[in-house]
Amino acid sequence: MAETTPPPTWLDLYDWRARVAAMYRERARRIAEGDDPVTVCDAFRATKDALFASHPQSPLDAEARAAFRGLSYFAYDPAFCVTATLTSETAEDEVLAPSSGPHAMPLRRAGRVSFTLGEDAVTLAVYWIDVYGGGLFLPFRDTTSGGETYGAGRYLHDTVKGSELLRLDDTGEHGYPGGRVLLDFNYAYNPSCAYDPRWVCPLTPPENRLAVAIRAGEQVFHE
């Protein structure tokens, strides 16, 4: 009789989230200390690949994990690591984001980031997402989506899962009025539904669909 893999548990989920948060903390620490950004990114990707390959809470099922040989990425490009200005939003109206499931997911705008890519001025909404206790969420879609990258777009930040915004103007005071933040699209990644349709994920709202190509971060997933 073939052996079966036991289903993941809640403790596995806790462990996954702790390890992902630690991965982002280590990235932030090394960036703050001035380490080589390519070396830092390579280490981050290697850690993520190891989690995908062996962790029971991986977005991949057991069969896909057994065949997994690593995610596909663009080579690190410093042009896609930019300084952006984050401004706060106070509107309470909901944004209904499309999802990979049958229902839209309500989000609220927490702020906007404005920056320049090459000669293009870009603005993206940053949302508050009310799952797992809530957090800041930055999805985007660009002209590589549906070809080189996942068709429904990618994520840059989901702070619920430990991907903290890297503040450049952190005064240590209570509250957060916004300010300069570091956005590194070399860490852009696919939602879980890109790997397995059993996952239901919020996707990029229309206002975050860009008319520029962001050839950085994770590419389309191929088994």
Residue 214 lies in a domain: no
Overall size of the chain counted in residues: 223
Per-residue pLDDT at 130 exceeds 50: yes
Q: Whose CA is closest to 214, among 139, 125, 136?
A: 139
Residue 27 lies in a domain: no
Task: Please report the pLDDT score of residue 7 as a whole number.
Answer: 82
Residue 4 lies in a domain: no
Name the domain count of the chain: 1
Whole domain around residue 103: which residue ranges? 73-208
3-state SS class at 76: coil
Residue 110 lies in a domain: yes
Q: Whose CA is closest to 160, among 181, 139, 186?
A: 139
One-letter identity of residue 210: L
Instruction: Read off the tokens for 87.
Output: 């401004």
Task: Please report the pLDDT score of residue 1 as a whole number.
Answer: 38
pLDDT tens-digit readout, 46-64: 999 999 999 999 999 999 9
Average pLDDT, the chain: 93
Instruction: Read off the tokens for 131.
Output: 């799952």
Task: Please report the pLDDT score of residue 68 as a whole number.
Answer: 95
pLDDT tens-digit readout, 89-125: 987 788 999 899 888 889 999 999 999 999 999 999 9
- In this prediction the pTM is 0.94
